[in-house]
Amino acid sequence: MNVIIVGLGGALGAICRYLITLLPINPENGFPMKTFLINVIGSFVIGLVTALAAKNALNPRAVLFLKVGICGGFTTFSSLALETEGLLEKGSTGIAMLYVILSLVCGVLAVFAAERLIG
């Protein structure tokens, strides 16, 4: 049953990710804004889920559905890696480094913010 719960959450997360990629956000400097937003939003959501789970406010299966399923299907580390490689190949080293640093810092800050919100 847990496998089905994770699979359903993963499908929902992947659908949400796809819908965000349809947004008309395309910075002229090539910064991968959609993937960045997906990763920060996913970090915030996983922070919320973790904080709620720590307070025993969520059923363990809901935690699987949200944390492993939805967040796992939604966030995009592999896309971040691919887009960073593409920026480096194009010689956009500064944008590539900015993207990696902002993604990491904003993702961690989003988790902290979500946990403080529930806290």
Segment 16-52, tens digit of pLDDT: 999 999 999 999 999 999 999 999 999 999 999 999 9
Q: What percentage of the chain carries pLDDT values higher than 70? A: 100
**Mean pLDDT on 99-118:** 96
Q: Which helix (H) or strand (E) holds 93?
A: helix 93-118
- Output the six-digit token pair for 41: 């939003």
**For residue 96, what pLDDT is reported?**
98
Whether 5 shows a pLDDT value over 90: the answer reads yes
3-state secondary structure 22-59: CCCCCCCCCCCHHHHHHHHHHHHHHHHHHHHHHCCCCC
Return d(Cα 29, Cα 10) in angstroms, integer. Answer: 31
Mean pLDDT calculated for residue range 100-119: 95
Q: What pLDDT sits at residue 59?
A: 95
Inter-CA distances, 99 with 2, 27, 71, 82, 90, Å:
35, 13, 20, 12, 14
When pLDDT is averaged across residues 60-83 and rounded to a whole number, the result is 94
Rg of the chain on CA atoms, in Å:
16
When pLDDT is averaged across residues 56-64 and rounded to a whole number, the result is 95
Distances (CA, A) of 9 to 5, 15, 40, 69: 6, 10, 18, 4
Q: Is the pLDDT of residue 119 over 90?
A: no
Mean pLDDT (the chain, rounded): 96
pLDDT over 90 at 80, yes or no: yes
Paired tokens of 9: 């959450």
- Per-residue confidence (pLDDT) for residue 71, from 0 to 100: 96
